[in-house]
C-alpha cells in the first residue's frame, strides 16, 4: 500500500524510547525539535513529528506514543502513561492534562487535527477520532470512557447507508461526564454540561444541562448555572479552606488558621537530617490591604488582584492566586502549588500569568 503506516512505531521505540530523559531530549533537539526547560520523558515514550514544539515543564509518561506532522505541546502539560496520540496536527494548550490510556487516532485525512485549549483535562480510557478537526476550548473537562468520533461510516454509501465525515466543536468551560458519545458535526456551546451516558449530536446551546440518549436540554439559565452572590462566594471559600486544612492535616502537615492566615507545618526528611518549614497563606475575602501580604508565602484572593498588587507580590517572591479571574502567578512554591491543585477539586483551574 502507498499510505501504509505501522500502527505501533516499533523502530522509534527501540531506538529512542528507552533512552534516559536527558539523552532523549538531546537527540530530539538534534532532530530539530524545540523543547523547553524542565521537560521530562518517561521510559518507553516517543514523540515522532516533522514540526515539534514542547513547552517548559511538560511531562510525557511511561510508554506514551505521540505521532503527527505538526505537534504543539504547551507549557506544564501532563500526558499520562500508555497514552497513544496519532493525528497529523496536535495542539495541547498550557496546563492541560491527558490521563492514562487515552487513545487519539483512527481514520484520518491530511487536515485531521485535535486542538485542545488551556487548562483542560481528558480522563482515562477516552477514545478520540479526529477524522476531521476536533477543537476543545479552554478549561473544558472530558470524562473517562468518552467517545468523540469525527466519522460515521461502515456500510456502503452506494447501498443507501449514511456515511459522514465532520468536525466537532466543544466550547470553553464545558463538562462532559463519563461515557459520553459525541457524534460528527456536534457543536457544544460554552459552559454546557453533558450528563453521563449521553449521546450528543447537533447543537447544544451555551450554559445548559443536557442529558439523555440522545441528549436533550433539561435545564438552562437562570436555573442552571445559578448566580452566586458575593456573600455566598465568601462562605464557599471558608468551606474550601476548612476542608483543605483537614486534608493537609490528615496528610501529615498540621495546620492552623489565625484570623486570615493559614499556617502549615512541613517536616522534610533526608537521610538522617530533618528540616522544619512553616508555610503561611493569606486568605483575602475582600481586597488585599496595603502591606497585608507581608510575611506570607501565598496570597489567595477571592476578588480580583490588581496589576500593581500582582507585581508587588511577585517582586517579594510570593505566589498569588486570583479566584475571580482564575489566574495565578507564574512563580510558585510548594504550598501554593498544593493549593492550586486542591482548588481543581472544586472546578477552579488557574491560568499562569
CA 130, CA 105: separation in Å to the nearest integer? 7
The partner residues of 266 in beta bridges, in order of sequence, read 277
**Residue 276: predicted pLDDT:** 82
CA 20, CA 26: separation in Å to the nearest integer? 10
CA 45, CA 83: separation in Å to the nearest integer? 9
**Residue 229: predicted pLDDT:** 93
* This model's pTM is above 0.85: yes
- Taking phi over 0 as left and psi of -120 to 50 as alpha, with beta for the rest, 232 belongs to alpha
Alpha helix segments (H runs only) across 229-306: 230-250
Alpha helix segments (H runs only) across the chain: 10-12, 21-30, 230-250, 307-315, 334-343
- Taking phi over 0 as left and psi of -120 to 50 as alpha, with beta for the rest, 243 belongs to alpha
**The dihedral of CA 248, 250, 255, 260: what is its sign?**
positive
Give me the tens of pLDDT residue by residue for the chain, a chain 353 residues long: 777 777 888 899 988 899 999 999 999 999 999 999 999 999 999 999 999 999 999 999 999 999 999 999 999 999 999 999 999 999 999 999 999 999 999 998 999 999 999 999 999 999 999 998 999 999 999 999 999 999 988 899 999 998 999 999 999 999 999 999 999 999 999 999 999 999 999 999 999 999 999 999 999 988 899 999 999 999 999 999 999 999 999 999 999 998 899 999 987 776 767 778 899 999 999 877 665 578 899 999 999 999 989 998 888 899 999 999 999 999 899 999 999 999 999 999 999 98
Amino acid at each position: 500500500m502507498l499510505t501504509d503506516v505501522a500502527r505501533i512505531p516499533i523502530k522509534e521505540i527501540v531506538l529512542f524510547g528507552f533512552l534516559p530523559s536527558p539523552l532523549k531530549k538531546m537527540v530530539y533537539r538534534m532532530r530539530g525539535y524545540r523543547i523547553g526547560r524542565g521537560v521530562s520523558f518517561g521510559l518507553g515514550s516517543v514523540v515522532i513529528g516533522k514540526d515539534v514544539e514542547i513547552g517548559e515543564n511538560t511531562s510525557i509518561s511511561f510508554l506514551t506514543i505521540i505521532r503527527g506532522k505538526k505537534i504543539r505541546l504547551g507549557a506544564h502539560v501532563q500526558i499520562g502513561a500508555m497514552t497513544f496520540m496519532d493525528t497529523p496536527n496536535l495542539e495541547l494548550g498550557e496546563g492541560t492534562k491527558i490521563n492514562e490510556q487515552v487513545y487519539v487516532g483512527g481514520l484520518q485525512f491530511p487536515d485531521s487535527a485535535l486542538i485542545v485549549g488551556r487548562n483542560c483535562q481528558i480522563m482515562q480510557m477516552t477514545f478520540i477520532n479526529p477524522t476531521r478537526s476536533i477543537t476543545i476550548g479552554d478549561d473544558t473537562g472530558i470524562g473517562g470512557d468518552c467517545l468523540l468520533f469525527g466519522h460515521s461510516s461502515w456500510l456502503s454509501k452506494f447501498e443507501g447507508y449514511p456515511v459522514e465525515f465532520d468536525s466537532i466543536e466543544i466550547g470553553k468551560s464545558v463538562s462532559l461526564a463519563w461515557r459520553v458519545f459525541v457524534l460528527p458535526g456536534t457543536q457544544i456551546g460554552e459552559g454546557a454540561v453533558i450528563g453521563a451516558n449521553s449521546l450528543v449530536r447537533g447543537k447544544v446551546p451555551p450554559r445548559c444541562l443536557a442529558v439523555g440518549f440522545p441528549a436533550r436540554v433539561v435545564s438552562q439559565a437562570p436555573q442552571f448555572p445559578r448566580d452566586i452572590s458575593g456573600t455566598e462566594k465568601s462562605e464557599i471559600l471558608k468551606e474550601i479552606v476548612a476542608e483543605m486544612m483537614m486534608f493537609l492535616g490528615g496528610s501529615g502537615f498540621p495546620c492552623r488558621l489565625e484570623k486570615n492566615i493559614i499556617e502549615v507545618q512541613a517536616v522534610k526528611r533526608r537521610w538522617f537530617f530533618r528540616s522544619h518549614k512553616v508555610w503561611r497563606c493569606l486568605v483575602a475575602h475582600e481586597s488585599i490591604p496595603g502591606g497585608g501580604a507581608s510575611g506570607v508565602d501565598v496570597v489567595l484572593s477571592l476578588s480580583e488582584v490588581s496589576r500593581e498588587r500582582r507585581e508587588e507580590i511577585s517582586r517579594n517572591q510570593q505566589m498569588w492566586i486570583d479566584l475571580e479571574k482564575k489566574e495565578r502567578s507564574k512563580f510558585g512554591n510548594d504550598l501554593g502549588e498544593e493549593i492550586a491543585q486542591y482548588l481543581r477539586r472544586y472546578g477552579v483551574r488557574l491560568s499562569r500569568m
